Structure 1
């Protein structure tokens, strides 16, 4: 029987070609750790959430050791609004008082974390929900920030409440979970040496985790395609020195500066490469890891 023009056969051949093209990349990442920071803005679409869960399951099945760190800023903001708790932002960070940290932990380590875990499990993976508190995985200390008073032009220390940044990372629990062929899904809530609970910026948290695990890649799924040049074109690959030059000449500005600085920090902690990519692109994780095209900006030491 002539199947030359059989659409099912042609589709099957196309799929086989895709798998064949991806094989060298699968072998490259086999046995290596990839940390994926799943942003609050990137997780707002149900179809994209399913695609993300499927991607994480697929890369784990192919031999990669994925670790998911997630945010949840928009979801926290929505619940605080429903509860009538006013949010204040200072120096670009949410001021987190005692009432707010209770909501933050409830949303991050509770509803969002378990939603991601259930999504991965529904696609055939085996995910486990964790936070920085489990096994004292991440210990944080209170963040201090400075801002200039616009009236007096005097620099003042800003009290952000229970906002922390990582001081130590103990990878014991993560190694145990990965060793059992499970997928850790980690909420960026951490204990402090003072016994308090701290809300840690998810990007910073992911960078600390990736550095402690000597990750081959740290992927930041955001709401932007990556680092853009002066013409608005995506830069596919760039070094730390080149990033610093783009900051100096104003090409990289605004909210992108803290993103790339977090990337640079992760590289300094031992991560092989960091990628900023648009989490709203379907199957962005697979495109970045298993194709020669990639899906964002790769920053290298």
Structure 2
């Protein structure tokens, strides 16, 4: 199947799962539009991705800012590019008790994890509906399935992404456009560092972390098959199954035990 001139638009494409997805799309012959905040980092990753023999367009945008989400699509339109695939990967968390965390950072995270995602998806759909084809991959998380003490806003944003993805998938079922949610568990990326989460008990055991390559491959395969969602990794499938059979209160307690700082012992 010749992908010539089929573009995949990937946010958060310079590191972690987004970068691994970009590599998989490039290996499969897709041209790329990669988006991230850091221009130098984009240029560096673009050079690596071009070695697969595909076209790579870099667009530096700060998706904490909704204007940047809109202008991203205006720039694509000006260049006559209509991505066939949209990967909403960019996302961040902030770690700590809600009463103590920085509200400005949390509003930024809601803008990045939710607002920019719905704007880009809306613009993608306006562009693709008349063409009758397209695929959307939204990064949810196993966090979307359970409340997350110590990580409450992040879990809330991912619950939104999953619920909304399932809803628009149903609306789009006769349109030729599919919507797939990818639900990784803890993955070996810069996520924890950015979330100031290096204290979390999750990181005590390196075996708790999946490889971003494996997660990206699960997401790519589910997207290409048009599946509605995929939980990446057996451990995470089990964890979600557990969550599904317990009360939200129990699930929140279990998550709290997993995520709280190692220094918070039982006596606190």
TM-score by length of 1: 0.33
Q: Looking at CA atoms only, which structure, 1 or 2, has the larger radius of gyration?
A: 1
Which structure dedicates a bigger proportion of its chain to strand?
1
Q: Which has the higher helix share?
A: 2
TM-score (ref. length: structure 2): 0.36
Structure of greater relative contact order (alpha carbons < 8 Å, 6+ residues apart): 1
